[in-house]
């Protein structure tokens, strides 16, 4: 196991978990596609989406406001090792941020249950839909540099033949793409019940800009526009992202396309404990997908979060656009609202704001949470489908310690 040797944290959040999907269904998942997807708000949220849970979330946020404590790294490592064994996940990459630095890092388990190769600091994981947050930051950097505007119709930069049959697409902007209000489906090749139809045409469900509908297609359209503006193809965007985002934010070796490094160090996906490719990119499916193909690990992604939230990577105007509510949608149960900025979810609990995004590619998953107010956050990736249960256990453990320490403090007074 690999870890850092000091950990001071101020956690103020128990938030809802959001799940989303990535690329085309592989053969191994086509047999039971509805088990893994259709919309990001219908996978694994049932246990979060109720008033009693949300009330407790608010209480915990209030309890932990301004609360800081020191944890022994050995204790946290024991908890994470136990989590890997108890939940039966193959591998886990976890990083904890406090005061704009990574204060703890864990890499445990195996890359592949058959080979037994261990997870280490070099191991890379499929970020799935957490790719959207990174790509959104890249887009906003291009806005800062004057390459495009958030509110100019993308059609004016590049016509899009895939949807030329519907004139409404000429109203779609970068802001709409990044806030899931284009009217596009998540992926054109999926029906509402999760069936895979490879020749299904791209459609628009409503007037662009008027409603929220989670869409990877919108991100891919925007990526194609940026590639056109840079006079390259989609895969060519990787070099530009390397120069403008990944290198400045210390995300070395992270990539939206398949590389020799990934061939050597990427963790294999698993479903129910068995090897499964999921929707991840591979040597056979190596191409750039703005919504889903980022390969990285917890340390690199934590460096990204620090750059966005603490190090002024973006202009103030672009940062405000990214972290302000751009679209909203009621959950299926209708008693809470998803709020989305540009490439991330926004949650307010008792006046405190937290940012997050999850990722789920069938056989790989992960999640980040960040509180700008407390300058604290965490991110994890696993080469399995068990993001939700991992997140619940991490949050339960951290908040049990917070409540216990708060009780001790109160008793001492």
Residue-by-residue DSSP string for 199-214: TPPP---S-TTSS---
Q: Which of 52-61, 208-217, 349-358 has the lowest mean pLDDT?
A: 52-61
At 75, give phi and psi (nearest 5°). Answer: -70, -45
Distance of alpha carbon 33 from alpha carbon 52, whole angstroms:
31
Closest Cα partner for 168 from 121, 209, 124, 208?
208
Closest Cα partner for 126 from 359, 345, 304?
359
Percent share of the chain, pLDDT over 70: 78
Place of tokens 């090897």: 275
**Which pLDDT does position 72 carry in this prediction?**
67
What is the mean pLDDT of the segment spanning 58-76?
Answer: 48
**Which pLDDT does position 397 carry in this prediction?**
78
More confident site: 342 or 192: 342
Second CATH level (architecture) for the domain 1-22+38-105+124-132+233-329+355-413: 3-Layer(aba) Sandwich (3.40)
Contact 171, 154 (CB under 8 A): no
Query: What's 155's DSSP letter?
Result: G
Residue 107: is its pLDDT beyond 80? yes
Rg of the chain on CA atoms, in Å: 20
What is the mean pLDDT of the segment spanning 20-46?
Answer: 34
Grade residue 333 by pLDDT with cuts at 50, 70 and 90. Answer: confident
Q: How far from 26 is each of 189, 196, 202, 257, 323, CA to CA, in Å? A: 12, 10, 20, 18, 34
Residue 288: is its pLDDT beyond 90? yes
**Which pLDDT does position 375 carry in this prediction?**
87
**Which pLDDT does position 56 carry in this prediction?**
39
- Token pair for residue 134? 């990174």
Closest Cα partner for 277 from 285, 286, 266, 269?
269
Contact 81, 1 (CB under 8 A): yes
Q: What is the pLDDT of residues 371-410, one digit of tens each?
A: 998 888 999 999 999 999 999 988 887 776 655 554 444 3
**Which pLDDT does position 6 carry in this prediction?**
36
What is the mean pLDDT of the segment spanning 111-127?
Answer: 97
Closest Cα partner for 139 from 148, 131, 151?
148
Q: How far from 44 is each of 29, 31, 49, 87, 264, CA to CA, in Å? A: 18, 20, 10, 16, 32
What is the mean pLDDT of the segment spanning 88-93?
Answer: 96
More confident site: 144 or 19: 144
Distance of alpha carbon 180 from alpha carbon 49, whole angstroms:
21
Q: Which of 20-29, 64-73, 89-98, 228-237 has the lowest mean pLDDT?
A: 20-29
Closest Cα partner for 377 from 314, 311, 303, 324?
303
Residue 68: is its pLDDT beyond 60? no
Q: Which range, 23-37, 157-171, 347-361, is most confident?
A: 157-171
Quote helix, strand, coil % in the chain, to nearest 5: 35, 20, 45
Residue 45: is its pLDDT beyond 60? no
End-to-end, the C-alpha distance of the chain in Å comes to 39
**Which pLDDT does position 353 carry in this prediction?**
87
Residue 20: is its pLDDT beyond 50? no
What's the pTM value of the predicted model, to 2 decimals? 0.85
Contact 8, 98 (CB under 8 A): yes
Which residues is 102 bridged to in the sheet?
Answer: 97
Helix (H) or strand (E) holding 353: strand 352-360
The domain ranges of the chain are 1-22+38-105+124-132+233-329+355-413, 148-229
Grade residue 245 by pLDDT with cuts at 50, 70 and 90. Answer: very high
Q: Which of 64-73, 100-109, 194-203 has the lowest mean pLDDT?
A: 64-73
């Amino acid at each position: 196991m690999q870890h850092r040797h000091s950990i001071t944290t101020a956690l103020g959040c128990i938030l809802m978990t959001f799940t989303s999907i990535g690329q085309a269904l592989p053969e191994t998942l086509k047999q039971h596609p509805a088990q893994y997807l259709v919309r990001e708000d219908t996978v694994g949220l049932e246990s979060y989406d109720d008033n009693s849970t949300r009330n407790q979330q608010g209480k915990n946020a209030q309890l932990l406001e301004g609360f800081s404590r020191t944890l022994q790294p050995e204790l946290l490592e024991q908890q994470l090792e136990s989590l890997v064994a108890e939940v039966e996940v193959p591998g886990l990459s976890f990083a904890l941020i406090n005061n704009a630095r990574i204060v703890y890092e864990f890499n445990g388990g195996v890359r592949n249950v058959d080979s037994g190769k261990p997870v280490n600091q070099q191991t890379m994981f499929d970020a799935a839909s957490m790719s959207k947050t990174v790509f959104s930051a890249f887009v906003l950097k291009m806005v800062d540099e004057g390459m495009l505007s958030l509110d100019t119709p993308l059609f004016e930069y590049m016509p899009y033949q895939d949807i030329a049959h519907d004139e409404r697409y000429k109203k779609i902007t970068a802001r709409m793409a990044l806030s899931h209000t284009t009217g596009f489906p998540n992926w054109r090749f999926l029906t509402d019940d999760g069936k895979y139809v490879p020749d299904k045409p791209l459609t628009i469900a409503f007037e662009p800009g008027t409603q929220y509908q989670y869409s990877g297609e919108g991100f891919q359209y925007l990526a194609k526009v940026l590639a056109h503006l840079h006079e390259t193809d989609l895969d060519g965007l990787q070099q530009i992202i390397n120069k403008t985002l990944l290198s400045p934010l210390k995300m070395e070796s992270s990539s939206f396309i398949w590389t020799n490094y990934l061939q050597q160090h990427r963790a294999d996906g698993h479903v129910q404990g068995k090897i499964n490719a999921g929707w991840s990119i591979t040597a056979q499916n190596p191409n750039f997908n703005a919504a889903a193909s980022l390969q990285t690990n917890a340390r690199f992604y934590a460096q990204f979060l620090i750059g966005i939230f603490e190090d002024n990577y973006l202009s103030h105007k672009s940062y405000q656009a990214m972290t302000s509510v751009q679209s909203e949608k009621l959950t299926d149960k209708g008693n809470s609202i998803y709020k989305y900025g540009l490439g991330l979810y926004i949650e307010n609990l008792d006046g405190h704001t937290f940012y997050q995004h999850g990722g789920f590619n069938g056989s790989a998953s992960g999640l980040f949470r960040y509180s700008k107010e407390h300058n604290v956050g965490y991110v994890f990736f696993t080469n399995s489908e068990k993001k939700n249960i991992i997140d619940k256990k991490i949050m339960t453990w951290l908040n049990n310690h917070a409540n216990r320490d708060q009780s001790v403090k109160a008793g001492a007074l």
